[in-house]
A and B are shown apart, each in its own frame.
Chain A
Amino acid sequence: MEDKTIICRCEDVTLEEIRKAIAEGARTLDEIKRLKRCGMGPCQGRTCRPLIAGEIARMTGQNPAELALPTFRPPVVPLKLGTLARGGVPDEQA
């Protein structure tokens, strides 16, 4: 992968930025998420999480299996406020 490769497609975070955060001391997915916003977009980290975990493991010599994952938070998929306000009834049925 190249430095300019986009790791987080929701928030346009590049590999270079992830590497910089790790080089500056970040050791966990939680720290990188909060500083760089990767994992906070519509996909909630489904794409970037394993890529960043791999990069942390590679740069810090940690075992990727032992890296703590950020909390998986609801909702599972993005939901419109209007749908939620109607108790879960989507537009097309309202």
Chain B
Amino acid sequence: MNRHEVIIIGGGVTGCSIAYHLAERGMRDVAVLERAYLTSGATGRCGAGFRHQWGTKTNCLLAKYAIARLEHLAEELDYPEGIEIKQEGYLLLAYTPKMEEQFKKNLALQKSLGIDARWVTPREAREIVPFLNTEGLLGATFCPKDGHANPFKVTDAYARAARRLGVKIHTYTEVRDIKIEGSLKTVITNRGTFQAPVVVNAAGGHAAEIGRMVGVDLPIVPERHQILVTEPVEQVLGPMVMSFYHNLYCQQTPHGSFIMGLGDPNEPKEYNVRSSWQFLTQMARKAVWLLPVLKNVRVVRQWAGVYDMSPDRQPVLGEVPGVPGFYVAAGFSGHGFMIAPMTGQLMAEVILGLPTTLPVDMFSLSRFTTGELFVEPSVV
């Protein structure tokens, strides 16, 4: 029997960030349980971008605070090899008057929160991305402080910092069941039993399964998203280019490879991480149309991962009403990586009963019963 103060289920960037932030605030008797290797779920399969350009106040603030942390994360966590950060912006493309209207609304909101994003004409967009096909483009929004970081390195940096503070990380340890007796939770895994008064569900696409183990119905469903990476080439693309019209994003990493992905609105809600040839050809068609210079770049690998989708595309953060000591940090709906520094900090504050740096009440699970949803409009 392994007895701890806190057990975190899920060794993605969220779980590792929560562990680090707890330990950093003095709660060092923490165990992280991960079913495979660290980053094996959504973290290691994501598009590796971060942006300020959101459509709700909470997301803008979470992103702003989180990105400020990412900018200095290697120093904060004493991670000398760095997290491969690049800040050359996100260019969000608008093709319909409705999109333009929404983007301009988003810009006003972002400006009110001190975020430096602006409207650019198709011509200005071509100054930022010289080979961009601007056919049909009405304009775009651009925030120069958006960018890229390596999810493997960010997670490794949090995991190492957490371990140095005494956190135990158990990989290849899959949670099979959870029993609650009084305030004590017993977590049964394929590698022994763990006990703690506090359990945090940071299981991403598996969060609903973990919830069911304690009789909690979490409205979080896995949804497959596919992605590919090319061979590395000379740096030619500064920003992440994102089009909600085409449901795609494409960026060049500091390593030189291009990472690009597509969302499919007809994707079934199920756990599926297989990749398809249909994605490969569709992605290639759209990418070559939008960024013709990519036609001679070779794809080396494609893969898939799942978004942990919630009904309003916002995470569930906090203690589950009726199950004291059982917390959730899941439902990130495709933007968990970029806000992980703040998710970790806020969850640690909530668990330790400290005042929170940003408001978190709106992320409560109870919003799905009271109907107080706040839908994020800007998601691929």
Residues of A within 8 A of B (CB): 27-28, 30-31, 34-35, 37, 40-42, 44, 71, 73-75, 78-85, 87-88
In the bound complex, do residue B40 and residue A75 qualify as a contact, i.e. CB atoms below 8 Å apart? no
In the complex with contacts A42-B231, A85-B285, A87-B281, A79-B37 CB distance below 8 A: no
How distant is B242 from chain A, measured CB to nearest CB, in Å?
Answer: 18
Are A74 and B280 closer than 8 Å at their CB atoms? yes
Taking a contact as CB atoms under 8 Å apart, the answer to whether B295 and A73 are in contact is no
| Contact, CB under 8 Å: A80 / B301 | no
Please name all residues of chain A whose beta carbon is closer than 8 Å to the beta carbon of B244 when the two chains form the complex. none
Judged by a CB distance under 8 angstroms, whether B77 is at the interface is no
Residues on B facing A (Cβ under 8 Å): 36-40, 44, 152-153, 156, 171, 229-231, 255, 275, 277, 280-281, 283-285, 287-289, 294-303
Residue of B nearest to A39 (CB): B301
What's the minimum C-beta distance from A41 to chain B, rounded to whole angstroms? 7
B289: chain A residues within 8 A (beta carbon) = 85
- CB-CB under 8 A from B303, the residues of chain A are 71, 73
Q: Are A80 and B277 in contact (CB under 8 A)?
A: no
Contact yes or no, A85 B281, CB < 8 A:
yes
21 A-B residue pairs with CB within 8 Å: A30-B37, A30-B40, A31-B38, A34-B37, A40-B229, A40-B301, A73-B275, A73-B302, A78-B298, A78-B299, A80-B298, A81-B296, A81-B297, A81-B298, A82-B294, A84-B280, A84-B283, A84-B284, A85-B288, A85-B289, A85-B295
A33 to B272, CA, bound (A): 22
Q: Which single member of A34, A42, A88 contacts B44 (CB below 8 Å)?
A: A34
What are the residues of chain A within 8 A of B301 when measuring CB–CB? 40, 44, 73-75
Contacts of B40 in A (CB 8 A): 30
Q: Which residues of A contact B171 (CB under 8 A)?
A: 27, 31
Question: What chain B residues lie within 8 Å of A30 (beta carbons)?
Answer: 36-37, 40
Q: What are the residues of chain A within 8 A of B38 when measuring CB–CB? A: 31
Given A75-B280, A81-B287, A87-B281, check contact A34 B300 (CB 8 Å).
Answer: no
Q: A35-B152, A85-B284 are in contact. Are A78 and B300 (CB under 8 A)?
A: yes
Judging by beta carbons under 8 Å apart, are B296 and A82 in contact?
yes
- CB pair A81 B281 closer than 8 Å: no
Contact check: which of A42, A71, A73, A87 meets B298 at CB < 8 Å? A42
For the complex, what is the distance from the CA of A43 to the CA of B62, rounded to whole Å? 39
A82 interface neighbour in B229, B275, B283, B295, Cβ under 8 Å: B295
Per CB-CB distance, the 9 closest pairs between chain A and chain B, nearest first, are A82-B295, A84-B284, A78-B298, A85-B284, A85-B288, A34-B152, A85-B285, A81-B284, A31-B37
Asked if A41 and B300 make an inter-chain contact with CB atoms under 8 angstroms apart, the answer reads yes
Point out the residues of chain A lying under 8 angstroms from B300, CB to CB.
40-42, 44, 75, 78
The answer to whether B156 and A81 touch across the interface, beta carbons within 8 angstroms, is: no
Known: A30-B40, A81-B230, A87-B281. A75 touches B295 (CB 8 A): no
Closest chain B residue to A36 by CB distance? B152
Q: A34-B37, A34-B39, A42-B298 are in contact. Are A78 and B277 (CB under 8 A)?
A: no
Query: Is there an interface contact between B281 and A74, defined as CB atoms closer than 8 Å?
Result: no
Q: Are B156 and A35 in contact (CB under 8 A)?
A: yes
Q: How far is B229's CA from A42's CA once the two chains are assembled, in angstroms?
A: 10
Q: B37, A74: Cβ atoms under 8 Å? A: no
| Complex Cα–Cα for A84 and B231 (A) | 15
CB pair B281–A84 under 8 Å, yes or no, is yes
Question: B152 to chain A: which residues have CB within 8 Å?
Answer: 34-35
Residues in chain B near residue A88, CB distance under 8 A = 281
Residue of A nearest to B160 (CB): A24
